[in-house]
Structure 1
Amino acid sequence: MSSNLNTVLATPFGDDSDPRGFWLLLLEHVEHLQVRNFAADTIRIRANYVRAFALWCLERDLTQPANVTKPILESYQRYLYRYRKENDQPLSWRSQNLHLAQVNQFFRYLVKYNHLPFNPASELELPKQPKSLPKAILSPDEVERILAEPDATTTLGLRDRAILEVFYSSGIRRAELCRLRLEHIDVDRQTIFIKDGKGQKDRYVPVGLRALLWIARYVENARDKLLLDQKEPTLFLTRDGKPLNPDSLTEYARKYIQSSGIEKSGACHIFRHTMATLMHENGADIRYIQAILGHERLETTQIYTRTSLRKLLEVHGQTHPAERPDDDSAPETESNQ
């Protein structure tokens, strides 16, 4: 088990000796996923959401999955809808959907392996997820301002500049960047090898010469100062010589965005959104962007066709009657008076 999964399953709940209780059946389900080589993040997420549901059931004296009916699941769905986080904000529709979908997968497993005769969640109607656009997209000038924030004369500043350059050039996810190794960088082919990306899928991602130069500067001038174990293969290291974790990357990226004075929310993922949007605006085929980002479905990538405004503005300016130069209704300027 990964350390994160160990944290989720650190404390037994309910009757931990009941073979039909939530605890032992969840452990069996986790082992089933591990044996079939499911991604560690997938297993952790499944265990976390099933655990949350089990605790909710135990508070209502529902000690076994066999006690759960469709009306009980509908009650849990209403609970998720009304739930408020510490900041008094509700759970997002995506989060509500994910809670229920993972519980449904757990019950499907229980039916498949004869722990239950039927799945009470099979006909549960999940909340529809809104097709929301990325909250913020950076302009090229804004990106350059952020990239200039790390102090590249220091060891950690040079590391952080290289990290931001990689994010912007390749659009990789933060977890993928944390797992990068030295041998994953192919300078001759100008590619980065992504090992076990989302869905445990490998892929090659193009990376620009500028990002490669910053990686080279980091490796030559900073990485050895952070390295404690000569056998450590990870590319980007903490001040303690260990691989970075995704949450730390989020803190670094958000810090540099804020210090640049750019009032847009976001962290690591904003570079991914920005790269895809700007590439599409500059003529990149959406199918190539899909391959770079590692999206399984094209419809996931097509969100960037809705955020690419430059071409829409050009067409609007060229064809809308009110935008034509000979429009008599345009307000007069001082030079026309």
Structure 2
Amino acid sequence: MTAEEAVQTFLAWMTTERRASPLTVEAYRADLARFLGFMAEHLNGLPDMAGLAKISLRDMRAWLAHEQAKAASATVRKSTPDRAARTRSRRVSAVRSFFRYLARRHGVENPAVGLLATPRTKKPLPRPLSVQDAKAVPEDIAALAHTDMAQQRDGALFLLLYGCGLRISEALNLNVGDLGVMTSSGVLRIKGKGNKERLVPVLPQVQQALEHWLKHHPSPLAGEPLFPGVRGGRLQPGVAQKAMREWRGLAGLPDHVTPHALRHSFATHLMEGGADLRVIQELLGHASLSTTQRYTLADEARLLDVWSRAHPRAGSGVQGDSRSAASAPRSEPVLEKEGPHTS
């Protein structure tokens, strides 16, 4: 088996057994192609299976240095240093996963891979919308649609994204029949990353919006997409993203205001309302609690910002407000008066 054939079997394994998303598989395909392309030039020939086991730590570091040099050139043009580091980190992860697969399935052991250091990256903190902006999104975006069907659809879609904290792909993969469980139990069964399922409670306001949308749905059969496009197929994420770009431009909001920012807003507003971190982890479908803990850091960053602008000893020049962050009022409740999503 050649190295290229080994990559193909690895990607097939990722797809069928690991149930990795198509985007992840394609990213790993590109990353491994870059890795093997470098090794073919560096070692004067594409290594076979035995050659893969003999790639040294020095060879690995030469590859990373090559990637860093190319990233530095790209950074001058359009990228950022941290984004480039995240890309290199992903490529190291792809190579490690590939060699773990080779060791388990083909007996190709290479200890050098385990010694390869991962580039350090700064995990960006979530940047949520304010409660006021998040609550305005569904109605305001719906008002920009050109047809009555699109208005009803977009209003329900964006309310669902914020009200349940869904990824845009999770919402768009729902079918009409998925609302049957919601009607009887008040929860939605969501299929997230890696086809992992979770149950998400649905606020009465969101449930009413979805039921109202079904009355305008062009083909409300169980197997039909819950959110169809104008031509009847499943609505594409790019359409929803474009609608939000248009809205944020009119509203004068920054570029980070995307459909995914509504998911960040859902989690952050729950955190501000006192929700337990484990509960938020389950609602978001995070495999690791460390991923959810970013919202704790984001909340701390917000409190420090309030303090730095409001405290009279912070030197910010703000006059007339001596309240500390601890005594500052909390955000208004999300969506309903009894509090944000904690029921």
Correspondence list, 1:192-231, <5 A: 192-195=188-191, 197-224=192-219
The 2-side partners of 1:30 and 1:315 are apart by: 47
Which one of 29, 46, 51 corresponds to residue 63 of structure 1?
46
The 1:215–1:56 alpha-carbon spacing in structure 2 relative to 1, beyond 3 Å, is: farther
Runs of at least 5 residues in structure 2 that lack an aligned partner in the other structure? 322-343
Correspondence list, 1:167-186, <5 A: 167-185=161-179, 186=182
Which amino acid letter does the alignment assign opposite residue 198 of structure 1? K
Partner of 1:241: helix, strand, or coil? coil
- Give me the TM-score of the superposition, normalised by structure 2: 0.76
Which amino acid letter does the alignment assign opposite residue 29 of structure 1? F
Number of the residue aligned with 1:257 = 248
Partner of 1:187: helix, strand, or coil? helix
Number of the residue aligned with 1:300 = 291
Q: Is the 8 A contact 1:156 1:222 kept in 2?
A: no
Q: Is the 8 A contact 2:176 2:222 kept in 1?
A: no
- Tell me the CA shift for residue 194 of structure 1: 0.6
Number of the residue aligned with 1:160 = 154
Q: Is the 8 A contact 2:141 2:243 kept in 1?
A: no
The 2-side partners of 1:251 and 1:290 are apart by: 29
The 2-side partners of 1:99 and 1:287 are apart by: 30
Runs of at least 5 residues in structure 1 that lack an aligned partner in the other structure? 1-18, 324-329
Residues 106-156 of structure 1 show CA distances to partners (whole Å, capped at 9, x for unaligned) of: 11222333363424312101112324312x321121123332132266222
Which amino acid letter does the alignment assign opposite residue 237 of structure 2? P
The 1:55–1:308 alpha-carbon spacing in structure 2 relative to 1, beyond 3 Å, is: same
**Higher RCO (Cα < 8 Å, 6 or more apart):** 2
Partner of 1:175: helix, strand, or coil? helix
Which one of 29, 35, 39 corresponds to residue 20 of structure 2?
39
Which one of 113, 128, 138 corresponds to residue 120 of structure 2?
128
The alignment's C-alpha RMSD in Å is 3.3
Number of the residue aligned with 2:102 = 110
Which amino acid letter does the alignment assign opposite residue 79 of structure 2? Q
The 1:244–1:80 alpha-carbon spacing in structure 2 relative to 1, beyond 3 Å, is: farther
Residues 51-101 of structure 1 show CA distances to partners (whole Å, capped at 9, x for unaligned) of: 232233345444125253322221221222232449531443222111111
The 1:313–1:146 alpha-carbon spacing in structure 2 relative to 1, beyond 3 Å, is: same
Which amino acid letter does the alignment assign opposite residue 78 of structure 2? D
Higher helix residue share: 2
Correspondence list, 1:265-304, <5 A: 265-304=256-295
The 1:268–1:44 alpha-carbon spacing in structure 2 relative to 1, beyond 3 Å, is: same
The 2-side partners of 1:78 and 1:172 are apart by: 38
Aligned residues: 302
Deviates more, 1:306-315 or 1:173-182: 306-315
The 1:44–1:313 alpha-carbon spacing in structure 2 relative to 1, beyond 3 Å, is: closer
The 2-side partners of 1:30 and 1:284 are apart by: 39
Number of the residue aligned with 2:233 = 242
The 2-side partners of 1:45 and 1:331 are apart by: 51
The 2-side partners of 1:306 and 1:331 are apart by: 28
The 1-side partners of 2:118 and 2:198 are apart by: 32
Deviates more, 1:25-34 or 1:244-253: 244-253
Partner of 1:203: helix, strand, or coil? strand
The 2-side partners of 1:262 and 1:321 are apart by: 29
Instruction: State the percentage of identical aligned residues.
Output: 24
Which one of 64, 81, 85 corresponds to residue 77 of structure 1?
64
- Tell me the CA shift for residue 241 of structure 1: 1.3
The 1:168–1:331 alpha-carbon spacing in structure 2 relative to 1, beyond 3 Å, is: closer
Q: Is the 8 A contact 2:175 2:225 kept in 1?
A: yes
Number of the residue aligned with 2:336 = none
